[in-house]
Amino acid sequence: MKCEKLCLDCGKKINKVSIRCKSCANYNRKGKYKWSENAINNRKGERNPNWKDNVGYRGLHRWVRRNKPKPKLCEMCGLKPPFDVTNISGEYERNINDYKWLCRLCHMKDDGRLMKLIKRNKWS
């Protein structure tokens, strides 16, 4: 008994392991077909096979930059456009609400880097 599947693009019956019939697969190889929205949404976030829970510092910040909408102005001072994503609690987890968009000056103030820089340059 053969398992009858339907082509992802045209809906024709296929008896193969692939997800597309031969004509749709050839058409797609030429770059004319785009992925359907359903196929794209099924591979986002935790459903993606490359998803990791224990992600590193840089990977986590990249994820936040892609998923947290960037406001027009800094969330701390409200004067300049934001460039940096900063962690609020200091625990680097995949919680989008634990991050905020800041301008460079506010980010340096928030981290304490600005005071260190001022102290270091005073004694030099």
* Closest CA relative to residue 85, chosen from 119, 67, 47: 67
The percent of residues in the chain predicted with pLDDT above 70, rounded, is 83
Is 33's pLDDT higher than 60?
Answer: no
Q: Are residues 35 and 72 in the same domain?
A: no
Domain that holds residue 21: 17-51
Q: Are residues 119 and 64 in the same domain?
A: yes
pLDDT digits (tens, 9 = 90+) for 7-24: 877 788 887 677 778 777
Whole-prediction pTM: 0.61
In a domain, 11, yes or no: no
Mean pLDDT of 30-39: 62
Structure confidence at residue 121 (pLDDT): 80
Residue 121 CB neighbour total at 10 angstroms: 8
Average pLDDT, the chain: 82
Residue type, 108: M
Could you give the 3-state DSSP secondary structure of residue 49?
coil
Could you give the 3-state DSSP secondary structure of residue 86?
strand
The domain total for the chain is 2
Task: Answer with the one of 5, 32, 51 that is the final residue of a domain.
Answer: 51
